[in-house]
Structure 1
Amino acid sequence: MVVAAAAPLTVIGGNMPLAMGLGNGAGAPVGFAIAALVLLVFSVGFVTMTPHVPEAGAFFSYVTVGLGQRMGKGIAVVALIAYTAIQIGIYGYIGWAISDTVAHYNGPVIPWPVYSFAVLAIVAVLGYRHIELSAKVLGVALTLEIGVVVLLDVLMVADPGPAGVTFASFDPAVFSQGTIGIAILFALTGFIGFEATAVFRDEARDPERTIPRATYAAVLIIGAFYAITVWAFVVAIGPDQVTGVAQQTLDGDGNMLLDTTGATMGSLGRDVVNVLLLTSLFACVLSFHNVIARYQFVLARKGLLPARLGAVHDDHDAPSFSSIVQTITATVIVAVLAVLGIDPLVGVFGSMAGVATVGMVTLMLTTSVAVLVFFLRYPDRAAGRVFRTRIAPALAVLGLLASLWLVLSNFTLVTGGSVTLSAILAAIPFLGLVVGFLAWRPSQPLSASGPDTARVEDHQRDVQ
């Protein structure tokens, strides 16, 4: 589930050219490897604390247990902001991708917001009615998506570009050029949602054994997949040419993923990858819509958001009002970005991915601190596990602080805007943390009776 949610084509098609064009060019694979290493160290403390968290929930459950309800609700707001930002970014990305596809087949030139709003309308209907995509159909599409990228990797390495099969990407003189922090930023964005392994704890037959394995495997598989694929593109294009090709994509003069696929696999391969890219983006944005709607639902039930957002639709048995609010929020933000004439790939997807990454790193950083505090408070539960309860979380804090510094210090490159605009965007997750922290009040228990009780409990489990 977690590997599938990583949406590999979405990351390779969008994050990769951003990491290369704005970051450190041919050295981008190292950025993805560093991101995977940081997340792997983080996972040690994360899975060690999992059995001690009473709710099978996301990061805010861990922070609540370790640092208290006030900080937990602040982190819940950060998570809501991060998911909203990445969803808006994907609306920009899918609008650009559809427009690029239509133009490739000599169709009419239609502005990207038109396609984004069309997708938004479809997502709104599905989210309101709680219609779920068939797991089998989605599973087949994701299997094809991963399979075609693996095949593409093999073909690119088997028939390399002008420099041959080169490992220049891993030369310190190469990956230290440019801005490796940008590569790390967009690599971290590709891991959003990997913490979901712990969410399935209640459904695992042997969670003490399988949850750690699943978490470590997910990080290693996703990290290796990204790093190897980005390296394969360097091999196919050439380390000296790859930055220019990536920048052409960012300028709207090309499509790094599809053009390279066409050169490697022919027009049929390009068409197949194009279709899978669009289905990947749609599934991704629909998933984030449902996550955000249910996040709002849970926060409303906990008293942090207006109670109306915690209502359940009588006919559709879904948090439909929360879904409507989420649709309105997305519509307004996309409309503002469209009116301002923001570039859909760099301006919308790049900037919003940056905001989401700041939020994600803040979530993981706070969770690592919560792990340290929890096991210091209950030393009996840490007996004999010094590395997992002390050393690894401390290393994760240091690694995440370094990652956060790299991201923030290079944020103007991500947004392409002024220092003031970049500072405002980067500050949004931190402002959310403050708002959630200050707006905290003790949660009111749900009524033990009433027609909505069972459905509310069901949807709380959906959110988890």
Structure 2
Amino acid sequence: MTQATTDADASTGPVRRLTGQLGVGAIVFMVIAAAAPLTVIGGNVPLAVGGGNGIGAPVGFLIAATVLLVFAIGFVTMTPHVREAGAFFSYVATGLGSRAGLGAAFVALVAYTAIQVGIYGYMGWAANDLVTYFGGPEIPWWIYSFVTLAVVAVLGYRHIELSARVLGVALVGEITIMVVLDVAIFATGGAEGPVWSSFSPSNVLQPGLGVAVLFALTGFIGFEATAVFRDEARTPERTIPRATYLAVVIIGVFYALSCWALVTAAGAGGAVDVAQRTLDGEGNMMLDTADAYLGAGLRDVMNVLLITSLFACVLSFHNVLARYLFSLANKHVLPARLGSTNPRHHAPSFASVVQTVSAVVVLLALVLVGLDPLVGVFGSMAGVSTVGMVLLMIVTSVAVFVYFSRRPDAARGRVLPTRVAPVVAVLGLLVCTWLVLSNFTLVTGGGAGVSTVLALVPAAAFVLGCVLGGRYTLQEDEPA
């Protein structure tokens, strides 16, 4: 049985911790669920193919996965030296101090809140589309969004292992149906046989490569959440690194392979047109391909699983956000009540409730403004979240480098993971930042002015956190 534990702190009072027995598989399930594989294949892939570098788009997903794997080397190397949950902000605070740590925490709260609200908008649109497809009535999209929010609130209030089981079932379904489609496409040879030219430099290095990488990166949002669950993980020093590497590799390979399968299904000469019709609202690259290769019945199953994919995604983000609030409260940055645990469910239930209320407020504001659920709500919120996540990874890589530079004994014999990998990660992430910002209007769906304001939100959150920093102390670092 799991329970909450309390560590005494003479200067600041009790620091509550969550406990649990989550293994590598459970954590990987939640992280991959947050990535919403079916949602990314159905939405990001057409954008990468139709608006990016065409049939070379699969390589964009491989590039994003490679950059994140390099980042993960330093990230997991530092894991034994970070004595608390909190993911990015704990790592940044350990390496760069409390001010930068609080800045990272504020960015994370903004980024996760944005993507969560965006997914609620996407869910409302997708649920209404599903109901009307099967002949049901058309009702306002936001009704489905708020119903989903209520269900997430109930599950998020309870112990994390319940959410892990729910996410696991949903994830197995969506990955299974996509793997079946991939196998069917490659087994039949697609329209013209496997499109090997997808990996040709002449097709990869097109002007739209940046767009492909951008939408690939949005598909990885949340992968670092492995570290958020460290207090609830079984032997976190081993569980967290394994879960992180597995999550990045599985997500990257799955995205790239499925993107290549959809390109192969349409053929080298028709893939861009098929993707463009999806962007124009005249078709659905993923669902139409499923209809052609699996039949109408399995197409309908995939359509339903798209809903479960979105639900799994938003539930995972809810759990991560609640734990960020819990950790910050136990640093005495937020009200102490947020750092309490439910005696029955042994979960940060009050933080979960507060997080639910904040999501209701933001979503309601966007509804009242009259934004479109996809372009207005999902597009703009995904844009803010992507910028925030890339910023967080850059700062975290710098924190890893600085931490081990100041502690040569801890880095002895490990130059690659403690020095080289963080530097290479920063360079790769800076390139990704340029790619994201130079194509930002494609994500937000807004003009240059609105997109600029949205892009500056994460940076403003970081500055605010740094200004307010210095108000909490880290736990003493212990040797690995």
Q: Which amino acid aligns with 1:163?
A: E
1:36 to 47, 62, 65: 65
Deviates more, 1:419-428 or 1:126-135: 126-135
CA contact (8 A) 1:294 1:322 kept: yes
Q: 1:289 to 1:38 in 2, by over 3 A?
A: same
Q: CA RMSD in A?
A: 2.7
Q: Which amino acid aligns with 2:266?
A: I
The alpha carbon displacement at 1:406 in A equals 0.8
1:115, 1:10 → 2: CA distance? 17
Mapped pair 1:423 → 2:465: no
Residue of structure 2 equivalent to 1:179: 208
Mapped pair 1:2 → 2:28: yes
Deviates more, 1:196-205 or 1:93-102: 196-205
Q: Which runs of 5+ in 2 are unaligned?
A: 1-26, 476-480
Residue of structure 2 equivalent to 1:279: 308
Residue of structure 2 equivalent to 1:153: 182
Q: How does 1:5-404 map to 2 (within 5 A)?
A: 5=33, 6-128=35-157, 133=162, 135-136=164-165, 138-198=167-227, 211-310=240-339, 319-404=348-433
2:212, 2:353 → 1: CA distance? 35
Q: 1:213 to 1:137 in 2, by over 3 A?
A: closer
The alpha carbon displacement at 1:161 in A equals 4.0
1:203, 1:132 → 2: CA distance? 9
Q: Which amino acid aligns with 1:305?
A: L
Q: 1:280 to 1:421 in 2, by over 3 A?
A: same
List per-residue Cα deviations over 1:344-376 (Å, max 9, x = no partner). Answer: 233322322221111111111111101111111
2:117, 2:70 → 1: CA distance? 30
1:306, 1:136 → 2: CA distance? 31
1:320, 1:209 → 2: CA distance? 27
1:212, 1:326 → 2: CA distance? 28
Q: 1:119 to 1:257 in 2, by over 3 A?
A: same
1:357, 1:13 → 2: CA distance? 18
Q: Which runs of 5+ in 1 are unaligned?
A: 447-464
2:45, 2:358 → 1: CA distance? 28
List per-residue Cα deviations over 1:235-265 (Å, max 9, x = no partner). Answer: 0122333333333333433322222111111
The alpha carbon displacement at 1:444 in A equals 7.2
2:157, 2:236 → 1: CA distance? 33
Residue of structure 2 equivalent to 1:453: none
The alpha carbon displacement at 1:413 in A equals 1.8
2:191, 2:474 → 1: CA distance? 65
Deviates more, 1:374-383 or 1:196-205: 196-205
The alpha carbon displacement at 1:136 in A equals 4.3
CA contact (8 A) 2:59 2:199 kept: yes
The alpha carbon displacement at 1:83 in A equals 0.9
SS for the counterpart of 1:23 is coil
1:42, 1:152 → 2: CA distance? 31
CA contact (8 A) 1:304 1:436 kept: no
List per-residue Cα deviations over 1:120-157 (Å, max 9, x = no partner). Answer: 23323443566864644543332232222111101112
List per-residue Cα deviations over 1:311-370 (Å, max 9, x = no partner). Answer: 556777654543343233322332333344433233322322221111111111111101
Q: Which amino acid aligns with 1:2?
A: V
Residue of structure 2 equivalent to 1:409: 438
List per-residue Cα deviations over 1:264-309 (Å, max 9, x = no partner). Answer: 1111111221222211211221221232233223323323334454
Q: Which amino acid aligns with 1:412?
A: T
1:121, 1:417 → 2: CA distance? 30
Deviates more, 1:130-139 or 1:112-121: 130-139
Counting aligned pairs with the same residue, the percent is: 65
Q: 1:333 to 1:22 in 2, by over 3 A?
A: farther
Q: How many matched pairs?
A: 446
CA contact (8 A) 1:127 1:286 kept: yes
1:214, 1:360 → 2: CA distance? 19
Q: 1:203 to 1:115 in 2, by over 3 A?
A: closer
Q: 1:391 to 1:439 in 2, by over 3 A?
A: same
Q: Which amino acid aligns with 2:295?
A: G
